[in-house]
Amino acid sequence: MPVYTAPLENIRFVLHEVLDANALTALPGYEDSTSDLVDQVLEEGAKICSEVLFPLNQSGDEEGCVLENGVVRTPKGFKEAYQTFIEGGWTAISSDPEYGGMGMPQLVNTVMQEMISSANMSFGMYPGLSQGAYEALHAFGTDELKALYLPKLVEGIWSGTMCLTEPHCGTDLGLIKTKAIPDKEGAYDITGTKIFISAGDHDLTENIIHLVLARLPDAPEGVQGISLFIVPKFLPDGLKPNAITCGSLEHKMGIKASSTAVINFDDSKGWLVGKPHKGLKAMFSMMNAARLGVAMQGLGIAEVAYQNALVYAKERLQMRALTGPAEPNKPADPIIVHPDVRRMLLTSKAICEGTRALSYWVGMNLDISLKHPDQKTREEADDLVALLTPVIKAYQTDMGFEVANLAIQIYGGHGYIAEHGIEQYARDARIAMIYEGTNGIQALDLVGRKMPQNFGRLLRRFFHPVSEFIEQHQTDESMQAFIFPLAKAFSKLQQATAMIAQKGLKDPNEAGAASVDYLRMFALVATGYMWARMVKAAQDKLETDADGREEFYESKIETARFFFAKMLPESDGRFKAIMAGADPVMSLKASGF
């Protein structure tokens, strides 16, 4: 049976010793969110994740969701778990107190998303989609819509979805055909079919609030003609059924306990969210929240897969250590003595701890962008979040799948069979690389939109602090093993940025062909930057007061040493691939494939 324990010690290290998350208490509305309170909340969150959600993960995968006579049923135990979840207020953590939320920092919600994804990624889809609907309504809904829907979403007795994709269009939303016809009462009749709708129908809540992209009769072609509508499964006035049906459930590779539905709208009543033909902007408020959530899914799967691989590697006896018996009193040594197993475990550990620091840094800047009283500071933080969102979405989901595969490899044949529950992590992790914008789309977003935006202003929000950190610590002898490789990789990232910017202006294919390698290179440097910061924090504690946690801090430094020596060099290969240009990718005619 798989195991999971929330990595609270590692979480607290990043929050309090690397990022100083307590500084958020200086922001308006966050005054009470002290380190002590945050720790208490996360300890309770860890309990519900490990004691309520995690025990349902494997059984939920085996049972899946069922559609019977137009009604969707979630796996056994999910309804009870969801009721426990909302009674604990976990749908309200970072929501606006005006609508019943706790008003805690978004960073706390980011941490919870990691733990929920580790415990039960399928379960996390239901409140996760509601969060996206909440964000869009909170930002673009009228006061009447917000007063009607937000309290129910925050309480968790209503849930939300994002209805974007149609059978003939995925990423290219300009092709959507769903229609919205105004009626005489100020509402709209919505007609169309949406597919791949996560949490599209289920039995967990009394109502499901669909946020639907559709076209008005006078809509211009393309994405400039998209509007956003709120279309409830049951009409708020008396909860009478709306003209919405679940056509089918998708049979999927993973996240089987999450109902991925085909939803049919047949003159369904809906209300406009935001301005006509401006649905794309509102949609991105949902998408950005969702992409951050998906990044945490990648981290969450990586963490639980690593934990299980580590337990197995310490218990499984196979052969002897290459240097002689490590445990001569046993018939064989545990496989953790073998160099290749250690390589896989260290890779997994470095990914989990490095990307945790990176994504929490993004989460903290999200709070600054929302709450800081100084406009310039808010802008700088918002720029950093916008820049790093595609980076962490793509990299952390790639790495979530990578670590899940490494766990299977460590288990060997026992990882490939279903009994141990390890193969589920690879199946569940795979979708995160696809939905909310495939990782190739994230790379295009980075080089095509974020890189040139405001003449490179977003890039400077990242380049400047990295450059300052390198300059500040380049003469520190204890940091040389970390600062020198970081500086080298950072310099090449800057060179690659300049090359893509220059060549991409003349030929967009140059930017497109380099985009995936560039995003990976960017992610490696960003993760290296966070590892260097963690090393500095660990060294400071060892030099002052480790409080009996010397082994913990030494482990951080040694894992960082592995990252810089064995993982960051990948950026050299990515740099060479970028500098090779687009010709190796684009020269072959389509008929030659």
Residues β-bridged to residue 232 = 209
Residues 6+ apart with CB under 8 A from 302: 348, 351, 352, 355, 396, 399, 400, 402, 403, 404, 429
Q: How many CA atoms lie within 13 A of 589 on its CB side?
A: 2
Q: For residue 221, give the nearest of 189, 180, 176, 190 by alpha carbon.
A: 176
Strand ranges (DSSP E) for 179-284? 179-182, 188-198, 207-214, 227-232, 234-235, 240-241, 244-249, 260-273
Structure tokens at 505: 């202006």
Rg of the chain over CA atoms, in angstroms?
24
Say how far apart CA 56 and CA 77 lie, in whole Å.
Answer: 7
Q: Where are the alpha helices (DSSP H) in 49-197?
A: 57-63, 78-87, 106-140, 143-155
Catalytic, out of 17, 353, 402, 436:
436
Rounded to the nearest 5°, which phi and psi values hold at 287? -65, -40
300 and 312 in contact (C-beta within 8 Å)? Answer: no
Length of the chain: 593
Say how far apart CA 235 and CA 243 lie, in whole Å.
Answer: 10
Q: For residue 176, give the nearest of 248, 235, 225 by alpha carbon.
A: 225
Buried b (16+ CB within 10 A) or exposed e, 346-384: bbbbbbbbbbbbbbbbbbbbbbbbbbbeeeeebebbbbb
At residue 405's C-alpha, the angle toward residues 400 and 409, to 5°, is: 145
Residues β-bridged to residue 179 = 191, 215
Residues 6+ apart with CB under 8 A from 109: 93, 94, 131, 363
74 and 65 in contact (C-beta within 8 Å)? Answer: yes
581 and 503 in contact (C-beta within 8 Å)? Answer: yes
Structure tokens at 98: 């005006």
* Amino acid at the residue 235: L
Query: How many helices (DSSP H) and strands (DSSP E) are in the chain?
Result: 18, 11
180 and 270 in contact (C-beta within 8 Å)? Answer: yes
Say how far apart CA 408 and CA 413 lie, in whole Å.
Answer: 8
Active site residue 436: yes
**Residues acting as catalytic residues:** 436
